[in-house]
């Protein structure tokens, strides 16, 4: 089995300081959290930018600062969000891709998102894919429901996506596919040959699905974007605490952790 790539989704667009007092917001806080997660075993960070008051933003300069601050501290792969927050325009969402980060997320379809709708019409997503290709940015394909994986398969056949792809199964969003082992096993069974995959279990699904992914040879995403709790009723102290736990479980299960450079090789970033 390949070594495990742990991604820390540090901030997201929805979680507030009221919900999680340790949420990193400024570029310095995000970079400090990235460093702590790297020390705990993360090879990648998935980042969203916020304004100083906590409002989500896709401002290019804010992402530039985040990337620079992370790079000052450590060598983790920085993956920027192009999901941003519900309601942002495609142009806003794409802004950080022009900074040529190593990776960026690419949502593969529209999904109900709690009481909102996270809009990802095919023509806009094709533009996102083309922009990433033109800037040499590897996408991580965000799969919120099984039809999105079928879309990825069609796009591979049509040449809108080329080469081995990296998938993120985001499971447990209200409106998306359930955060269950059955859902994960089904999606894994439908993956195009040669793909790599990770799982982002939402809320209480984070720990069980992460553990299952370790056993199945997938990779794992943890962090406050998806889950603010350490266990039921107890907030996590930091993103790094969530990384440290999944790292510990992986080592106990005899699966070593990928360093950032090893993850770059596994993901074909070189
Ligand atoms: N904030 C969500 C609406 C991504 O980063 O690409 C979308 C999201 C996905 O977080
Ligand atoms: Zn995100």
Q: Tell me the residues surrounding ligand 2 (ion) with CB < 5 Å.
A: 81
Residue 174, number of CB atoms within 10 A of its CB? 12
pLDDT digits (tens, 9 = 90+) for 103-141: 999 999 999 999 999 999 999 999 999 999 999 999 999
Out of 13, 88, 202, mutate this one to test ligand 1's pocket (max ligand atoms within 8 Å of CB): namely 13
- Is the CB of 110 inside a 6 Å radius of any atom of ligand 1? no
Q: What is the pTM of this model?
A: 0.98
**Cα 263 to Cα 3, 6, 20, 90, distances in angstroms:** 8, 9, 29, 29
Strand partners, 46: 9, 79
Q: What's the CA-to-centroid distance between 218 and ligand 2, angstroms?
A: 19
- Is the CB of 118 inside a 6 Å radius of any atom of ligand 1? yes
**Cα 230 to Cα 29, 42, 198, 222, 235, distances in angstroms:** 20, 17, 20, 11, 5
Which residue's entry shows tokens 């409106």? 175
**Cα 102 to Cα 57, 122, 191, 237, 241, distances in angstroms:** 20, 23, 23, 28, 25
Joined together, the tokens standing for residue 113 give 């998102």
Closest listed residue to residue 122, CA positions, set 94, 142, 93, 151: 151
The ligand placed nearest to the CA atom of residue 173 is 1
Out of 118, 119, 124, mutate this one to test ligand 1's pocket (max ligand atoms within 8 Å of CB): namely 118
Instruction: Give all domains of the chain, ordered by start, each with its CATH number.
Output: 6-266 (3.20.20.70)
Q: What is the mean pLDDT of each run of 10 residues along the chain (270 residues)?
A: 98 98 98 99 99 98 98 98 98 98 98 98 98 98 98 97 98 98 98 98 98 98 98 98 99 98 96
């Amino acid at each position: 089995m390949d070594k495990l790539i742990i991604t820390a989704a540090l901030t997201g667009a929805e979680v507030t300081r009221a919900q999680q007092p340790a949420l990193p917001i400024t570029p310095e806080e995000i970079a400090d959290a990235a460093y702590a997660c790297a020390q705990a075993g993360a090879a990648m960070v998935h980042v969203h930018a916020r304004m100083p008051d906590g409002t989500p933003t896709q401002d290019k300069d804010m992402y530039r600062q985040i990337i620079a601050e992370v790079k000052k501290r450590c060598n983790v792969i920085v993956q920027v969000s192009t999901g941003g927050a519900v309601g942002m325009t495609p142009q806003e969402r794409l802004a950080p891709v022009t900074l040529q980060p190593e990776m960026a997320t690419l949502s593969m379809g529209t999904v109900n998102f709690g009481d909102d709708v996270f809009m990802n019409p095919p023509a806009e997503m094709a533009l996102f894919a083309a922009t990433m290709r033109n800037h040499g940015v590897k996408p991580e394909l965000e799969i919120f429901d099984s039809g999105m994986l079928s879309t990825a398969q069609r796009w591979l056949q049509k040449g809108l996506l080329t080469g081995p792809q990296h998938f993120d199964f985001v499971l447990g969003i209200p409106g998306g596919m359930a955060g269950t082992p059955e859902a994960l096993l089904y999606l894994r069974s439908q993956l195009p040959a040669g793909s790599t995959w990770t799982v982002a279990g939402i809320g209480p699904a984070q720990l069980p699905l992460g553990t299952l992914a370790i056993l199945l040879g997938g990779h794992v995403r943890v962090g406050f974007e998806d889950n603010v709790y350490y266990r039921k009723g107890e907030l996590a102290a930091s993103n790094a605490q969530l990384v440290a736990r999944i790292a510990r479980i992986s080592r106990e299960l005899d699966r070593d952790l990928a360093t950032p450079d090893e993850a770059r090789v596994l993901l074909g970033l070189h």
